[in-house]
């Protein structure tokens, strides 16, 4: 039933490839029951279908895994490109408590 399907946008980042998601899915037999038995057939499925299938079956644990991968990727890019800034602790506390900025 379509009402039971959960949708999770998953960006095309390093660490979030179809193979990465399938490696995650292989840890849950319920997810694997929903996929074709032949590996070649699985790889023909749309990327977003695979992500939504895993999210529907596994739930928030998969969303947390995706978020962790995104955070790792963003940190890696920020450090490699020297995009990090230093800030006075008092200013940082004010910045974090501000309602005008996102907490993420």
Domain extents in the chain = 2-97
Helix axes 60-80, 47-58, angle to 10 degrees: 130
Over residues 22-39, the mean pLDDT reads 93
Mean pLDDT of the chain: 87
CB 24 within 8 A of CB 51: no
Q: What is the pLDDT of residues 67-86, one digit of tens each?
A: 999 998 888 887 777 777 77
pLDDT at 94: 85
Name the nearest CA neighbour of 53 among 103, 101, 10. 10
Instruction: Tell me the whole-structure pTM to 2 decimals.
Output: 0.72
């Amino acid at each position: 039933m379509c009402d039971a399907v959960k949708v999770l946008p998953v960006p095309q980042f390093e660490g979030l490839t179809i193979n990465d998601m399938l490696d995650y899915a292989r840890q849950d037999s319920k997810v694997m029951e929903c996929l074709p038995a032949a590996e070649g057939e699985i790889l023909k499925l749309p990327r977003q279908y695979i992500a939504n299938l895993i999210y529907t079956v596994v739930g928030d644990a998969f969303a947390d895994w995706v978020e962790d991968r995104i955070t790792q990727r963003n940190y890696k890019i920020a450090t490699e490109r020297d995009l990090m800034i230093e800030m006075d602790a008092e200013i940082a506390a004010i910045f974090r408590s501000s309602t005008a900025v996102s907490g993420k």
